[in-house]
């Protein structure tokens, strides 16, 4: 890739600021976990896998704070810090998964060296980062096998290298298809209200010379009716035990349209996005965003003062609308029969 979403240098977390793309390419450096939390909340870093990786490194930054205590005392402190980090954004499962994984590993330490204990945090966060890169490659390869040369695929929001530690989930499919010599065209929904599709997906695909066409969200159905779309691939922020999918608001609408037009609807997500506890989408807590993101997006007021706003960041796509799930271990059938 021609850019790095997440970097680690000298025990500092460096994030590509996605709030200013595509106009500016800015990297922000963090050495305090308390600054990483608002960076996650304001979507400087976003996408379930990338949030998880950033959260793991936020723990690393936190454990480096000099404290006069024992290893056992620091373990208790880190439990409290973990709870704060996990509450940064509630819907994407990877955030809590990554934090819990690091704590499970570090809690196994029985020695009395603070330096050794701290190093385990960094080692585990590095492992999560490295594994995510490998999972992205695997998803890309499995997904690319589903696409035929010359197909045009619609995607919603951004599920690429900007959202992961590697080459992406949904967008990884396009990158691997290109490596295979397949000519694939992409239609990208703009993704209201924060325009992740317009600002991020088109920018990212253009960096990698992928043929991409931008459409507004309400053009998806008509584009399908005109025969311009052969398949849909999106990412996911959480997949429940029954296969229901939480993803960026607007995904559900696209899935309904895809079924109506007989177009396959694929969800690309790593194993870490699967929730092993929640039974269905009805159990997912859907984050609601500030009304200003709708009424005055990017600083320009587009609605009257005082208007009521409903602004969920995600929606739930029932498993019955999913043709198949593209994972890092293979392609799994969804609940949609046709």
Instruction: Identify whether 297 is part of a domain.
Output: yes
Same domain, 178 and 326: yes
CATH number at residue 256: 3.40.50.10470
Same domain, 167 and 253: yes
| pTM of the full structure | 0.93
Which structural domain, as residue segments, surrounds residue 222? 141-333
| Angstrom distances, CA of residue 288 to CA of 41, 185, 313 | 12, 33, 6
Same domain, 85 and 59: yes
Smallest CA-to-CA distance from 36 within 98, 79, 84, 90 is with 84
- The CA distance from 12 to 14, in Å, is 6
- The CA distance from 78 to 262, in Å, is 50
The count of structural domains within the chain is 2
Q: What is the pLDDT of residues 17-30, one digit of tens each?
A: 999 999 999 999 99
The helix-helix angle for 33-41 and 71-86 (nearest 10°) equals 20
Instruction: Give the tokens for residue 31.
Output: 């050495």
91 band by pLDDT with thresholds 50, 70 and 90: confident
Instruction: Decide if 125 contacts 57 (C-beta within 8 A).
Output: yes
Same domain, 130 and 150: no
Question: Strand, helix or coil at 239?
Answer: strand
Instruction: Give the tokens for residue 167.
Output: 């080459």
Q: Which of 136, 164, 181 is the last residue of a domain?
A: 136
Catalytic residues: 237
| pLDDT value at 338 more than 70 | no
**12-16 and 6-9: which strand pairing?**
antiparallel
Same domain, 203 and 129: no
Same domain, 195 and 127: no
Q: What is the pLDDT of residues 102-151, one digit of tens each?
A: 999 999 999 999 999 999 999 999 999 999 999 999 999 999 999 999 99
**152-155 and 12-16: which strand pairing?**
unpaired
């Amino acid at each position: 890739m021609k850019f790095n979403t997440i970097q680690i240098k000298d025990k500092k977390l460096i994030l590509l600021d996605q709030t200013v793309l595509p106009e500016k390419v800015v990297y922000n450096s963090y050495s305090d976990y308390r600054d990483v939390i608002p960076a996650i909340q304001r979507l400087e870093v976003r996408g379930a896998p990338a949030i998880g990786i950033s959260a793991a490194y936020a723990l690393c930054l936190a454990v480096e704070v000099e404290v006069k205590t024992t290893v056992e005392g620091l373990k208790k402190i880190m439990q409290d810090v973990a709870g704060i980090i996990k509450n940064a954004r509630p819907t994407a499962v990877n955030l809590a998964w990554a934090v819990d994984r690091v704590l499970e590993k570090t809690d196994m330490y029985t020695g009395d060296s603070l330096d050794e204990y701290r190093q385990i945090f960094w080692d585990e966060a590095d492992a999560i980062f490295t594994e995510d890169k490998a999972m992205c490659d695997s998803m890309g390869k499995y997904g690319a096998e589903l696409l035929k040369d010359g197909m045009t695929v619609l995607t919603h929001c951004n599920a690429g290298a900007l959202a992961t530690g590697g080459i992406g989930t949904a967008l990884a499919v396009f990158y691997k298809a290109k490596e295979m010599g397949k000519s694939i065209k992409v239609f990208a929904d703009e993704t209201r209200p924060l325009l992740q599709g317009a600002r991020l997906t088109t920018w990212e695909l253009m960096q990698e010379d992928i043929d991409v066409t931008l459409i507004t969200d309400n053009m998806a159905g008509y584009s399908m009716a005109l025969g311009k779309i052969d398949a849909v691939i999106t990412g996911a922020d959480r997949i429940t035990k029954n296969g229901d999918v939480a993803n960026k608001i607007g995904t559900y609408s696209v899935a309904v349209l895809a079924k109506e037009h007989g177009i396959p609807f694929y969800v690309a997500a790593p194993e870490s996005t699967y929730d092993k506890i929640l039974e269905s989408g009805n159990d997912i807590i859907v984050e609601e965003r500030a009304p200003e993101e709708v009424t005055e997006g990017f600083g320009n007021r587009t609605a009257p003062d005082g208007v009521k706003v409903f602004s969920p960041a995600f929606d739930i796509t029932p498993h019955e609308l999913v043709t198949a799930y593209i994972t890092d271990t293979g392609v799994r059938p969804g609940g949609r029969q046709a």
